């Protein structure tokens, strides 16, 4: 492991207050040291790198110009917040980021007063910032609120809803568009930097206000014409007409890596009193300052430990293919035989495996951006015309499109296929990214079919079953990471809807597992057998419809029935318990226990530790069975 870089100026910065005494030249040096420290820290533990590298100068400039934490600085999503953490007293903590007991990889209110709003999902900063600014105004407080949002996050409708509201309210909200993909503006240079300084300056704003007041004295048509002329003149010089139309005063584009561009503009905006919100268009480069990141296709967005000199990441050799890759390969195989199969992702082609699908079927692959609501209804439109759309969306992100799942898919009974990745615990990304709730929010919907494969082979069967299911919406969920190493079939087979399977026959305890807890259930059955207890293990396969005949059989033939799932309360176990109660199957004394996530959020940890914290290990299943049977202290030791 390399030594930490020398950072003499950064070593003197204990809080942003120390940065406000520095000159522009010193700020540039500080930014270089922050960048070096960021690279060193992430190389040791892994985490998000590329986005943070792109906003180093912007971070330093913001904390230099604004009086944080009194002024509120909100980072959208939070992938780019590592430099912010370095200069707000968490420099050493960054070497524990996303590790057990370490700091969060995102902004977190409970972690620091410099994190006024937590974020793990994108496109929320402007809405939150507007709420904060209105609260400040109501309280008579003149603090600034600054929202930093990326151009990718601007693809989400929520950002525009917030901008529309902010423009209509004339709140002095400062929004910084961190444009790191060159998707909106051309390259910036000296002229645009000069214009940005002029247009954000107090003399220009004062003159503009005077012109507005004078124009207001003229009849309506002349007033409106003068206003349009001024806006379009600035639009021709600098761009930004879209934002102007939404009520924002547009400044930019400016070079987000030059302190002598950033600092004057930020100070001008801070000290001016414009009528309404301001948008500063800042051009940055993701991965800036680290050659391997600049050269990588994903700009080293998320990395494991790596060698700083070569950029080589230390990744463990997989023992089995990942569930995501199994899904992707299975979908490609199905699409080769069925030209109605199409795939949709919401800005996560690599994360969902649809980059593989896109290479073979580019015309049948659709990346809609960070817009899950649109993705779902777009899929519904495809389904209504006879296509077979697979919307591959992380469980945590599908929550953002839930209204569309209900109204545009379920009510119309359209056969949209939801491939729900990252179901269950996800490890280092923590509570904001856990796939905890999909079983609850999907299984309550009429017309929905929900299959939960227990291993990689079952996932292939799930894809094949989804392709063949044209009678309504179909969902299947699978976790992050490697499979269990089961033998993969040549091709997935179509499963009978609503039918589970029994893998082990017994007579005292029945374990009804849903999804990838099956291996744990089988291990628990072996341990129970060693204690003299005969145990049945069943794989429910379907969370909806429930295999009612299987449940009846398990209820009739056993003393204890335990359901096990990797999801929140109110999911599969609740539906099984509801069925048992309705059918009167509890009346004869059957003991039922439902094992699921606890009613709390579990932050970043290793997945195995998260499972243990949720008490879903084989030992926990054994303890639950023993306690239900009245085996006293044996069960209480773990339950």
Q: What is the structure's pLDDT at 201?
A: 60
Higher pLDDT, 155 or 116: 116
Q: Can you tell me the mean pLDDT for 152-171?
A: 88
Q: How confident is the model at residue 276 (pLDDT cuts 50, 70, 90)?
A: confident
- What is the Cα–Cα distance from 332 to 359, expressed in whole angstroms? 10
With CA atoms as reference, report the closest residue to 361 among 393, 395, 388: 388
Q: What is the structure's pLDDT at 3?
A: 83
Q: How confident is the model at residue 195 (pLDDT cuts 50, 70, 90)?
A: very low
Q: How confident is the model at residue 431 (pLDDT cuts 50, 70, 90)?
A: confident
Q: Are 443 and 134 in contact (CB under 8 A)?
A: no
Higher pLDDT, 603 or 317: 603
In the structure encoding, which two tokens stand for residue 571, read together?
């999911």
Catalytic residues: 286, 372, 400
CA dihedral 622, 624, 630, 633 (to 10 degrees): 70
Q: What is the structure's pLDDT at 247?
A: 87
- Which range has the worst mean pLDDT, 188-202, 271-285, 471-485, 501-515? 188-202
Q: What is the structure's pLDDT at 232?
A: 44
Residue 1 has pLDDT above 80, yes or no: no
Q: What is the pLDDT of residues 548-607, one digit of tens each?
A: 999 999 999 999 999 999 999 999 999 999 999 999 999 999 999 999 999 998 888 888
Helices (H) and strands (E) counted in the chain, each on its own, are 27, 19
| Edge-first strand listing for the sheet containing 249-255 | 72-75, 145-150, 174-179, 278-283, 249-255
Region for 297 from its dihedrals, namely left if φ exceeds 0, alpha if ψ lies in -120 to 50, beta otherwise: alpha
Residue 638 has pLDDT above 70, yes or no: no
Residue 406 DSSP class: I
Higher pLDDT, 444 or 241: 444
- What is the Cα–Cα distance from 512 to 502, expressed in whole angstroms? 9
Q: What is the structure's pLDDT at 548?
A: 97
Residue 450 has pLDDT above 70, yes or no: yes
- What is the Cα–Cα distance from 408 to 425, expressed in whole angstroms? 28
52 phi/psi in degrees, rounded to 5: -65, -40
Q: How confident is the model at residue 46 (pLDDT cuts 50, 70, 90)?
A: confident
Strands 341-345 and 388-394, bridge-based pairing: parallel
- What is the Cα–Cα distance from 242 to 244, expressed in whole angstroms? 5
Q: What is the structure's pLDDT at 218?
A: 53
- What is the Cα–Cα distance from 72 to 546, expressed in whole angstroms? 49
- Mean pLDDT of the residues in the chain: 88
Q: What is the structure's pLDDT at 298?
A: 74
Q: What is the structure's pLDDT at 263?
A: 95
Residue 437 has pLDDT above 50, yes or no: yes
Tally of CB atoms within 10 A around 269: 24
Residue 184 has pLDDT above 60, yes or no: no
Q: What is the structure's pLDDT at 633?
A: 67
Q: What is the pLDDT of residues 236-255, one digit of tens each?
A: 444 567 888 888 999 988 99
Residue 259 DSSP class: H
Cα–Cα distances in angstroms (integers) from residue 321 to residues 276, 459, 475, 569, 607, in the given order: 53, 12, 22, 30, 17
- What is the Cα–Cα distance from 264 to 202, expressed in whole angstroms? 11
Cα-to-chain-centroid distance, residue 89: 26
**Percent of the chain with pLDDT strictly greater than 90:** 66
Q: What is the structure's pLDDT at 176?
A: 95
Give bridge partners of residue 367 from the DSSP assignment: 345
Q: What is the structure's pLDDT at 297?
A: 73
Q: How confident is the model at residue 9 (pLDDT cuts 50, 70, 90)?
A: very high
Q: How confident is the model at residue 615 (pLDDT cuts 50, 70, 90)?
A: very high
| Half-sphere exposure of residue 496: CA atoms within 13 angstroms, side-chain side | 6
Q: Can you tell me the mean pLDDT for 7-27?
A: 94
In the structure encoding, which two tokens stand for residue 73, read together?
């600085």
Q: What is the pLDDT of residues 79-108, one digit of tens each?
A: 889 999 999 999 999 899 888 888 888 888
The most confident of 192-201, 283-292, 379-388, by mean pLDDT: 379-388
Residue 214 has pLDDT above 70, yes or no: no
**Percent of the chain with pLDDT strictly greater than 70:** 89
């Amino acid at each position: 492991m390399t030594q930490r870089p020398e950072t003499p100026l950064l070593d003197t910065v204990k809080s942003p207050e120390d940065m406000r005494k520095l000159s522009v030249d010193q700020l540039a040096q500080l930014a270089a040291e922050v960048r070096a420290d960021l690279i060193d820290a992430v190389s040791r533990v892994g985490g998000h790198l590329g986005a943070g590298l792109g906003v180093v100068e912007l971070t330093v400039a913001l904390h230099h110009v604004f009086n944080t934490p009194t002024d509120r600085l909100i980072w959208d999503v939070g992938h780019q917040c590592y430099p912010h953490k370095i200069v707000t007293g968490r420099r050493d903590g960054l070497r524990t980021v996303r590790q057990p007991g370490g700091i969060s990889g995102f902004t977190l209110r409970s972690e620091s007063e410099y994190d006024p709003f937590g974020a793990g999902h994108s496109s929320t900063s402007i809405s939150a910032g507007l709420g904060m600014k209105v609260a400040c105004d109501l309280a008579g407080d003149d603090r600034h609120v600054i929202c930093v949002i990326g151009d990718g996050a601007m693809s989400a409708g929520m950002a525009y809803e917030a901008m529309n509201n902010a423009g209509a309210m004339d709140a002095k909200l400062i929004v910084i568009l961190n444009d790191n993909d060159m998707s909106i503006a051309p390259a910036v240079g000296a002229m645009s930097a000069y214009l940005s300084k002029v247009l954000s300056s107090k003399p220009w704003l004062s003159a503009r206000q005077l012109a507005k007041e004078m124009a207001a004295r003229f009849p309506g048509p002349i007033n409106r014409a003068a206003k349009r002329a001024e806006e379009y003149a600035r639009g021709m010089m600098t761009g930004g007409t879209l934002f102007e139309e939404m009520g924002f005063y547009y400044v930019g584009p400016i070079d987000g890596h030059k302190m002598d561009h950033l600092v004057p503009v930020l100070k001008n905006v801070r000290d001016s009193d414009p009528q309404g919100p301001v948008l500063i268009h800042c051009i940055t480069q993701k991965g800036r300052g680290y050659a391997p990141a600049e050269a990588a296709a994903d700009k080293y967005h998320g990395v494991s430990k790596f060698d700083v000199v070569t950029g080589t990441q230390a990744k463990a050799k997989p023992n089995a293919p990942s569930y995501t890759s199994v899904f992707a390969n299975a979908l490609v195989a199905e699409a080769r035989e069925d030209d109605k199969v199409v795939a949709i992702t919401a800005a996560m082609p690599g994360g969902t495996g649809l980059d593989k699908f896109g290479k073979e079927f580019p015309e049948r692959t659709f990346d809609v951006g960070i817009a899950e609501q649109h993705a779902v209804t777009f899929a519904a439109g495809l389904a209504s015309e006879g296509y077979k759309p697979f919307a591959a969306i992380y469980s945590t992100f599908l929550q953002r499109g839930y209204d569309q799942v209900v109204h545009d898919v379920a009510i119309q009974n359209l056969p949209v296929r939801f491939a729900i990745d990252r179901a269950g615990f996800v490890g280092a990304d923590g509570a904001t990214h856990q796939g905890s709730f999909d079983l609850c929010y999907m299984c309550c919907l009429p017309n929905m079919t929900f299959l939960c494969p227990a291993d990689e082979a079952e996932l292939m069967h799930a894809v094949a079953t989804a392709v063949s299911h044209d009678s309504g919406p179909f969902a299947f969920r699978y976790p992050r990471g490697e499979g269990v190493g089961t033998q993969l079939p040549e091709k997935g087979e179509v499963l009978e809807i609503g039918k589970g399977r029994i893998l082990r026959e017994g007579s005292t305890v029945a374990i009804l597992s849903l999804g990838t807890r099956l291996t744990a259930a089988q291990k628990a059955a072996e341990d129970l057998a060693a204690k003299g207890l005969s145990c049945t293990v069943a794989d429910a396969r379907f969370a909806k419809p429930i295999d009612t005949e299987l449940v009846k059989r398990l209820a009739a033939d056993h003393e204890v029935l335990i359901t096990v799932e990797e999801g929140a309360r109110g999911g599969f176990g609740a539906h099984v318990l509801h069925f048992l109660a309705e059918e009167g199957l509890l009346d004869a004394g059957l003991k039922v226990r439902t094992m699921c996530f606890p009613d709390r959020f579990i932050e970043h940890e290793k997945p195995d530790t998260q499972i243990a914290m949720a008490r879903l290990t084989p030992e926990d299943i054994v303890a639950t069975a023993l306690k239900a049977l009245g085996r006293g202290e044996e069960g209480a030791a773990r339950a």
